Structure formats: C-alpha cells, structure tokens
Amino acid sequence: MLEIRNLHAVIDGSEILKGLNLTVNAGEIHAIMGPNGSGKSTLAKVLAGHPTYKVTEGEVIYEGRNLLELAPDERAREGVFLAFQYPIEIPGVSNANFLRMAYNEKAKHDGREELDPLEFDDLLKEKMKIVEMDSSFINRSVNEGFSGGEKKRNEILQMAVLEPKLAVLDETDSGLDIDALRVVANGVSTLANKDNAVILVTHYQRLLNYIEPNFVHVLYKGQIVKSGGKELAMELESKGYDWIKPAGAKA
C-alpha cells in the first residue's frame, strides 16, 4: 500500500528526514517511535502534504501512485488521513457541517452517493458511539473550546467518518488521560481491518498496551534505524533510546 524510499525532507532549510525507508501493507499496524526531534511528526506531515515541508529526495508510492505529486486534499480523497497532534480550531463551523462536507467530497470522488443532513446525521450517530462522544459535540464549532482529549477523540471521529485506507496518527496519545487513551485506542482498533493500514507515530509505549502493532520502528535522526515486533517497544520503554544509536551513525 505504501512504499517510502530514501525520503529526505527539509523545513526552513534544515534537513529533518535523511533517507527514510518504510513499507506498509494493507492490514498492518506500524508503530513509529523515536526521541523528540527524530523526525516522527515531519514524516506524518510529509505524508499528508503539509506545504511547509519540502521533499528534496526520494519517493513515496501509495497504491501504485506517486503520492508526492498529489495536493493535500487529493491525498485525503484518495484515502490518506492524518490525525493531527494539535488539531486546529475552526470557529463558526459546526462539527456536523464540517464532517458532512468532508464526507461528501470523498463520496463524490469515490462515485458514491452524497448524504443530505438527515442521512448524514444517522451515520454520524453510529460513528460517535465508537469514540463515546456526546451528541452535543455535533453542533459545536470544530474543536473550539474542546479539551485536549476531546480534540483527539474528534480526530478519531473524523477518521471513523472518512474511513481512510491509510491512517497516520501523529502522537494522538500524547497528553491523554487513561480514559481518553482507552477510547482513542478502541476507536483505532475498531477501525483497523484487513484492507486498511495504520501508522501510529508515538513517543510512548503506553498506547501499544491498547493497540497491538505488527511492526515497531525506531526513528532516529531522520532514519529508521531499527525495526522489530512489539517486544522492541517494550525494550525502548525500559532502556530508553540511548542504546539504539546505530554503530555507524554520528552522534
């Protein structure tokens, strides 16, 4: 589904990703871990197409197409989804309107039928159960006045509505209390299936107590330096990141 080869990316002139390689197949959950500043969030934003990050080298093949050629909104309609580390507030636009608009844009693209407000309301109610959200959230402005946990849940709700093929979760677990973490993790587990793939970008192993990844990768100084199974995450939790520095890498 996703093939990243020798990816280099810069922001404001400094190179953050320095030759990253990663292969993700349908039905897989990948966790990408690494210390602060290793490039985890940059990878997430590059995949979604954030305009301030420039790809200088390498390629990203998604479903057989060059992902980097697509505008951010095209990527989203093709099934790429980024759950933001810091979701944006949109005053004056209700969650319901926003979600329906996003849903219908994708439906149009996929050749499916668009939903009117009433039909969409039914769908939304179902999806809200997944993230245990109160119905009052539907009519509130997108993320405005939401707590940190509510914003993250709202990201998962959007994921549930849009049903992406490739979901990238950028530190969705950071700063969550145990209840919110459980809800977010349940949401992701519920939505993961054999046809889609999930990349969990995280700083902590804690989330992986709730979601079992097929692969764990360690990102360090812009490269994936180690890959393994769930046990790698445990090892990182107990030993920290220091031991992982590759022999050949300059500290």
Partner 1 sequence: MQQAATEKENYFSAYKLFVRTREGKDPAWLNELRSRAGSRFEALDFPTTRNEEWKYTNVAPILKVPFRQVFDLEPGAVKMAAIEPYTYAESRTSRMVFINGLYAPELSDLSGLPKEIVVTSLAEIPQESNDVARRHLGAYASYEEETFTALNTAVIGDGAFVHIPDGSMVEQSIHLLFVSTAKEPIASHPRVLIVAGKGSIASVIESYVSPGEDIYFNNAVTEVFADENAVLNHYRLQEESERAFHVATTRIHQKRDSNYTSYSISLGGEIVRHNLNAVLDDEHVETTIDGLYVVTGKQHVDNHTTIDHREPFCNSHQVYKGILDGRSRAIFNGKIFVREGAVKTDAHQLNKNLLLSGGATANTKPQLEIFADDVKCSHGATIGQLEDDELFYLASRGINPEMARALLTFGFAEDVISKIKLKSVRERLDRAVLDKLHQSLEIE
Q: Smallest gap, in angstroms, from Cβ of residue 41 to partner 1? A: 13
Residue 226, interface with partner 1 (CB under 8 A)?
Answer: no
Please identify which residue in 88, 178, 247, 251 interacts with partner 1, judged by CB under 8 A: 88
| Contact criterion met (CB below 8 Å) for 30 and 217 | yes
- Beta carbons of 7 and 57 less than 8 angstroms apart: yes
CA atoms within 13 A on the CB side of 127: 25
Binding to partner 1 by residue 10, rule CB under 8 A? no
Smallest gap from Cβ 158 to partner 1, in A, equals 6
The answer to whether 68 contacts partner 1 (rule: CB under 8 A) is no
Judged by CB under 8 A, which of 154, 158, 202, 205 binds partner 1?
158
93 sits near partner 1 (criterion: CB under 8 A)? yes
DSSP letters for 182-244: HHHHHHHHHH--TT-EEEEEES-SGGGGTS--SEEEEEETTEEEEEE-HHHHHHHHHH-SGGG
Give the binding range for partner 1 (CB under 8 A) out of 97-105, 179-187, 195-203, 237-245: 97-105
Between 11 and 234, whose beta carbon lies closer to partner 1?
11
Under the criterion CB under 8 A, does residue 72 sit at the interface with partner 1?
yes
Edge-to-edge strands, sheet with 54-62: 14-24, 2-11, 54-62, 65-66
Q: How many CB atoms lie within 10 A of CB 135?
A: 10
Work out which of 117, 228, 229, 240 binds partner 1, going by CB under 8 A.
117
Q: Name the minimum Å distance from CB 92 to partner 1.
A: 3
Terminal alpha carbon distance of the chain: 33
Consecutive H or E run containing 30: strand 29-33
Span interacting with partner 1, options 19-27, 85-93, 179-187, 201-209, rule CB under 8 A:
85-93
Cα(172)–Cα(86) distance, integer angstroms: 9
Among 12, 13, 36, 51, binds partner 1 (CB under 8 A): 51
Sign of CA dihedral 232, 33, 246, 225: positive
**Count of residues that interact with partner 1, criterion CB under 8 A:** 32
Binding site for partner 1 (CB under 8 A): 48-52, 71-73, 75-77, 81-82, 84, 87-88, 90-93, 96-98, 101-102, 105-106, 109, 117, 141, 158, 162
